[in-house]
Amino acid sequence: MRSSIPQTAIVIGSGIVGAAIAYFLTRRGIRVQLLEASAPAAEATGAADGAVSVASKRPGPMMVAAIAGVALYRELEHEGLFAGLFKSRSTFIVATSDEECAVLEAHADALEQAGVRIERLTGGALFEVLPALSPSTRLAVQVHGEGHAIGYQIVHRLLTADGIVVDRHTPANALLRDANGRALGVETHKGQIKADVVVIAAGTGSATLLGLADILIPRKGQLLVTERAPRLNAAFAGSIMSGRYLMSKGNRKPGAPTPARGLGLVIDPLVTGQFLIGGTREDHGDRRTNDIGAVSHILADAVALVPQLVHVRLLRSFAGNRTAVLDGLPLIGRVPGLDNAFVATGFEGDGICLGPIVGRTVAELVCGEAPSIDLVPFDPARFKSGMVAA
């Protein structure tokens, strides 16, 4: 299977990652059956902010992958697939305290070393570019060449471009495999479905399919959307991210206690004139609920950073679950012990940015082509003991 191109594939999950994998496999002439427990973009992809951004990525493989991810958005926009869906803009990471300034300076160095174009703004220059910011802001780092996309719109475009049909309300319950270490297909409530390859892109649902409940962590996030405020919106040259956001994006050591709720502020000016404001990182709780503690905390932080937001009404709030991995890196690659089964999950807060590039890379892997991004750091085999096939 490594050298020959398969004819049929099952992709499990129609979030942005599964939809992108299905798209790039279909483009290679492979017949794809896309199984979805619920509906397309029903989970994290439909509850995300949508920053297509290198700015917040940890230095190392995630930053490198995100640079390729943003470049692919531009390429697909240029080709027409993402036309009208990708809003180009800068990200401004801002610091108001000594601690945030120190974290931001180090992060700015790392971005520069990775080849990302940035500018440090202080004093008058800062408020000329970002007049709406609170006077307490001490440093802003402008990260050029970033963008924004709505996850469910990207999924819709990926699925409709080649007429990919989603088998809705058809969860894969288990992988089928033979005695020789090959995946045969999946078990569903409609019966067995067979294919040459199986790709698991089921977000948090991947934990059950792979036996990785201790490795994949549902990480809830709460977000807010305001009414339209066109004049204030126009005063934003890009999205504003607090230095604290960088600190809230940590990872957990095995066996470490569940951390307190992380609050990292992002204020994103939408094309509609509204603002999307978030968000929390919570390794517990019901993903469907917002709580007044989180909502009031996010609002207070947002008004402290952009005082004029106090005049803008909150329209709605929502929540979703990111799929985090214990070591902070996604799982992308072959399922250990199964030559023709693959997994792509664990993208935490980065899957809108990385979804299309991961889709292309997994399709390349399935077809024996050279991968667009280095998959070694993301090899699922690092958690082999938990894998279904081990």
Ligand X SMILES: Cc1cc2nc3c(=O)[nH]c(=O)nc-3n(C[C@H](O)[C@H](O)[C@H](O)COP(=O)(O)OP(=O)(O)OC[C@H]3O[C@@H](n4cnc5c(N)ncnc54)[C@H](O)[C@@H]3O)c2cc1C
Residue with tokens 């991961």: 358
Near ligand X by CB under 6 A, which window of 32-40, 76-84, 112-120, 334-342? 32-40
Task: Give yes or no for residue 18 binding ligand X (CB under 6 A).
Answer: yes
Question: Minimum CB separation from ligand X for residue 86, in Å?
Answer: 13
Residue with Cβ nearer ligand X (239 or 340): 239
Verify binding: residue 152, ligand X, rule CB under 6 A: no
Work out which of 9, 10, 11, 16 binds ligand X, going by CB under 6 A.
Answer: 16
Q: Report the site for ligand X in 315-354 (rule: CB under 6 A).
A: 320-322, 345, 347-353
Question: Does residue 298 contact residue 243 with C-beta atoms inside 8 Å?
Answer: no
Q: Which residue among 147, 218, 221, 264 contacts ligand X (CB under 6 A)?
A: 221
The site string for ligand X over 188-207 (x = CB under 6 A, - otherwise) reads: -------------xxx-x--
Please identify, using beta-carbon distances, which residue of 30 and 166 lies nearer to ligand X.
Answer: 166
The count of residues interacting with ligand X (CB under 6 A) is 44
Closer CB to ligand X, residue 203 or residue 243? Answer: 203
Binding mask 353-382 for ligand X (x = CB under 6 A): x-x---------------------------
Site residues for ligand X, 254-313, by CB under 6 A, read 278-279
In the complex, least distance from residue 27 CB atom to ligand X, rounded to whole angstroms: 18
Residues 6 or more apart whose CB falls under 8 angstroms from that of 163 comprise: none
Site map for ligand X, 155-184, x if CB under 6 A? ----------------xx------------
Member of 32, 50, 150, 361 binding ligand X (CB under 6 A): 50
| Closest CB 111 distance from ligand X, rounded Å | 17
Please report the sign of the dihedral spanned by the C-alpha atoms of residue 31, residue 33, residue 39, residue 45: negative
Given 223, 246, 324, 387, the residue binding ligand X (CB under 6 A)? 223
C-alpha of 275 from chain center: 19
Choice from 11, 22, 43, 95 touching ligand X (CB under 6 A): 43
Is the peptide bond between 279 and the residue preceding it cis, with omega within 30 degrees of 0? yes
Residue nearer to ligand X on the CB measure, 241 or 367: 241
Q: Is 35 in the site for ligand X (CB under 6 A)?
A: yes
How far apart are CB 212 and ligand X at their closest, in Å? 13
What residues line the site for ligand X (CB under 6 A)? Answer: 12-18, 35-38, 42-45, 47-51, 151, 171-172, 201-203, 205, 209, 221, 223, 278-279, 320-322, 345, 347-353, 355
